[in-house]
Structure 1
Amino acid sequence: MNKEKRLEILTRLRDDNPHPTTELNFSSPFELLIAVLLSAQATDVGVNKATDKLFPVANTPQAILDLGLEGLKSYIKTIGLFNTKAVNTMKTCQMLVDLHGGEVPENREALEALPGVGRKTANVVLNTAFGWPTIAVDTHIFRVSNRTKLAMGKNVDLVEQKLLKVVPKEFKVDVHHWLILHGRYTCVARKPKCGSCIIEDLCEFKDKTEL
């Protein structure tokens, strides 16, 4: 894909949604971190249903520690893999209290040292909570980037590297959200809604649909 076409795609996505953000409900970096931890192999809707009940009761590391493991599980038991996620959440909260004064560190290395936090989660927190120009590549972004040929790669790390290279600075903070939302609602996995897509004429996907 050439530079001009890529720029037009990003411009259209920006014009359609000038101020995008995550669909996870949060009001602090800590709430975002916990929501993202819980979102692995789960929907944002499902996570929000759980955290909408959890956060009014416990939305700091110490408050979650005070709930205890079984107490935390009672709030997140509707989320897939909740047992493992509960353990990681408790360990993460303990590390935040012990090492970071109960605050979420604005530092990639420190974030990735937390249990259950990998590069993608760290990217989401750095981008959405702190405004860093990071790009967290999930299955939606991977699909959209490869399908449109915006940034092709055989795995999520390669797609991330390509996006960081080819996306102009002015779009970097928001591109992660645009591509996730585009993949979630328009460029869906099984039958993309090409007929109602705002970038259909720019997309280089060969098997376009009429929907």
Structure 2
Amino acid sequence: MNKEKRTAIFERLKSANPNPTTELVYDNPFELLIAVILSAQATDVGVNKATAKLFPVANTPQAILDLGVDGLKEYIKTIGLFNSKAENVIKTCRALVEQHDGEVPSTREELEALPGVGRKTANVVLNTAFGQPTMAVDTHIFRVSNRTGIAPGKNVSEVEKRLLRLVPRPYLQDAHHWLILHGRYTCVARKPKCGVCIIEDLCEFKQKRDYLD
């Protein structure tokens, strides 16, 4: 895919959604961090239902620490892998209190040093909470990048590097959200909705004519 076509794709995505953001509900960087940790192998809808009950009670590292692992589990038990997630959240909150004065750090190194925080989670927080042009490649972004030809790659790391290099600079800050939303609602896994896709004529997916219904 050439530069002109990529630019046209992101122009259309921006025109359709000028201010994209995460579908996780949060009010500050700490709430976002916790929501993203909880969202691994879970839906944003499911996480939002749990945090709607948790955050009014505990939305600071110390407040969640005070709940303890068992207390936290009561709020997140509807989310997949809640046992291990509760352990990681408590450990992360302890690290934030003891090492960062209760504040969420804004560097990749410090974020990835927190329990339960990998590169993808760090990228989401850096992008959404701190306005850094990172690319958190999840299953949706990986699929869209490969299927459309925007930034094909054999693995998540390869796709991330290519997106950071190939997405036109004016669109890089919001590209993460546009691609996730496009993969979540239009370029879906089993039967992409090519017939209603706003970038269908620019996409290089060879089988798209089979999905026009």
TM-score, normalized by the shorter chain, greater than 0.5: yes
Counterpart of 2:140?
A: 140
Structure 2: tracts of 5 or more residues without a match: none
Counterpart of 1:188?
A: 188
Deviation at 1:17, TM superposition (A): 0.4
Counterpart of 1:58?
A: 58
Counterpart of 1:76?
A: 76
Counterpart of 1:45?
A: 45
The separation in 1 between residues aligned to 2:181 and 2:18, in whole angstroms, is: 13
Q: Partner of 1:45: helix, strand, or coil? A: helix
Deviation at 1:100, TM superposition (A): 0.2
The separation in 1 between residues aligned to 2:146 and 2:61, in whole angstroms, is: 38
TM-score (norm 2): 0.98
The separation in 2 between residues aligned to 1:18 and 1:157, in whole angstroms, is: 27
The separation in 2 between residues aligned to 1:29 and 1:205, in whole angstroms, is: 37
Counterpart of 1:164?
A: 164
Deviation at 1:166, TM superposition (A): 0.6
Structure 1 stretch 178-187 or stretch 163-172: which is displaced more? Answer: 163-172
State whether residues 64 and 90 of structure 2, in contact with CA within 8 Å, keep that contact through their aligned partners in structure 1. Answer: yes
The separation in 1 between residues aligned to 2:171 and 2:24, in whole angstroms, is: 21
Residue deviations 1:118-139 (CA, integer Å, cap 9, x gap): 0000000000000000010000
Counterpart of 1:97?
A: 97
The separation in 1 between residues aligned to 2:11 and 2:56, in whole angstroms, is: 38
Aligned AA for 1:133?
P
What does residue range 148-159 of structure 1 map to in structure 2 within 5 Å? 148-159=148-159
TM-score (norm 1): 0.99
Q: Partner of 1:68: helix, strand, or coil? A: helix
Aligned AA for 1:210?
L
Structure 1 stretch 167-176 or stretch 22-31: which is displaced more? Answer: 167-176
Greater than 6 Å deviation, 4+ residue runs: none
C-alpha root-mean-square deviation of aligned residues, in Å? 0.4
Counterpart of 1:120?
A: 120
Counterpart of 2:6?
A: 6
What does residue range 7-22 of structure 1 map to in structure 2 within 5 Å? 7-22=7-22
Aligned AA for 1:69?
V
Aligned AA for 2:80?
G
The separation in 2 between residues aligned to 1:57 and 1:163, in whole angstroms, is: 39
Q: Partner of 2:26: helix, strand, or coil? A: coil
State whether residues 132 and 173 of structure 2, in contact with CA within 8 Å, keep that contact through their aligned partners in structure 1. Answer: yes
Deviation at 1:69, TM superposition (A): 0.8
Q: Partner of 1:104: helix, strand, or coil? A: coil
Deviation at 1:168, TM superposition (A): 1.7
Aligned AA for 1:204?
E
The separation in 2 between residues aligned to 1:10 and 1:159, in whole angstroms, is: 17
Q: Partner of 1:24: helix, strand, or coil? A: coil
Counterpart of 2:212?
A: 210
